[in-house]
Structure 1
Amino acid sequence: MGQAKPFRATALIVEDDLMQREMLSLLLEESGYDVIQCESAEAAERVLDKSAGTLCLLLTDVQLAGRMTGVELAHVAKDRNPKLDIVVTSGRPLMQPLPNGAKFWAKPWAPLDVLREAEIAQLS
């Protein structure tokens, strides 16, 4: 008989800057998350189609590769999983409304912010 794997929270990172995406992934993996990385909102939307209910955390930049913005992705994600913890980041002021409960972080954010958010999302 196989042993059950312990539950690991899953985070979706959507960032077109490879270095930032890798840093976020590393921080979250160190916090006990499984991480799915995407460069575009369109790729992330395909992940949401398959796995929205299993995700605990979405971290997305506003400006992404492709046609959809991170803000638009946040709305799609919240529709598919209302309990999902969502953080949208940008180096510019946010001009569009976020879905209820989503957070905005101005860049540069601190790694400690990511670790705190990871802890909050796992408790939700």
Structure 2
Amino acid sequence: MPDATHTPRLALVVDEDAAARDRAEMLLGETELDVVTCASGEAAVEVLRRRGQEIVLLLTKATLDGELDGHGLATAAGKLRPGIRVVLTTGTPETCRERLPDEAVCTRQPWLPLDVLVQAHAALLGSPRGPEAR
């Protein structure tokens, strides 16, 4: 019998590339997380406002179409949902930390499945950021 008090734990995947969103959704679908996808930072902020308490992981890339890039989305997510695990993918992970909240993690784009799964696992456990992805 399902637990009536169970709150779904969500991963929010943000990328304008539908194939990249599908890839992330398939991978994260193998975890205990339900997955919601968005094509823009602006759409992701709306999801965070509506379902923020359910979201434990945000996977986004640094460059997004629209007004809100990945760095801005990471900052907004930290304000709307304190404690959320933010994973930002970028071509330059060595410099991406400069513009991110302390709890965010940078990883190389294209991301490696193992790196994302490690971060998903940590999000599910609610652990501190821990070692950064490579």
- Do they fold alike, i.e. is TM over 0.5? yes
- Structure-2 separation of matches of 1:30 and 1:106: 21
Partner of residue 121, structure 1: 123
Over the matched positions of the two proteins, sequence identity in percent amounts to: 37
How far apart are 1:52 and its partner, in Å? 1.4
- The number of residue pairs the alignment matches comes to 123
How far apart are 1:62 and its partner, in Å? 1.1
1:99 aligned to which of 98, 101, 110: 101
How far apart are 1:108 and its partner, in Å? 2.5
Runs of 4+ in 1 over 2 A off after TM superposition: 2-8, 91-96
User: AA paired with 2:118?
Assistant: R
SS of the equivalent of 1:57 reads strand
Q: 1:3 to 1:57 in 2, by over 3 A?
A: closer
Partner of residue 48, structure 1: 48
Query: Retained in 1: the 8 A contact 2:8–2:54?
Result: no
User: AA paired with 1:116?
Assistant: V
Structure 2 residue runs without a partner (length 5+): 127-134
SS of the equivalent of 1:30 reads coil
User: AA paired with 2:20?
Assistant: Q
SS of the equivalent of 2:99 reads coil
User: AA paired with 1:43?
Assistant: A
SS of the equivalent of 1:45 reads helix
- Structure-1 separation of matches of 2:16 and 2:80: 23
Structure 1 residue runs without a partner (length 5+): none
How far apart are 1:6 and its partner, in Å? 4.8
Query: Retained in 2: the 8 A contact 1:11–1:56?
Result: yes
How far apart are 1:116 and its partner, in Å? 1.1
Partner of residue 110, structure 2: 108
TM-score, length basis structure 2: 0.83
Query: Retained in 2: the 8 A contact 1:27–1:111?
Result: yes
Query: Retained in 2: the 8 A contact 1:10–1:33?
Result: yes
Verify: 1:39 aligned to 2:19, yes or no: no
How far apart are 1:18 and its partner, in Å? 1.1
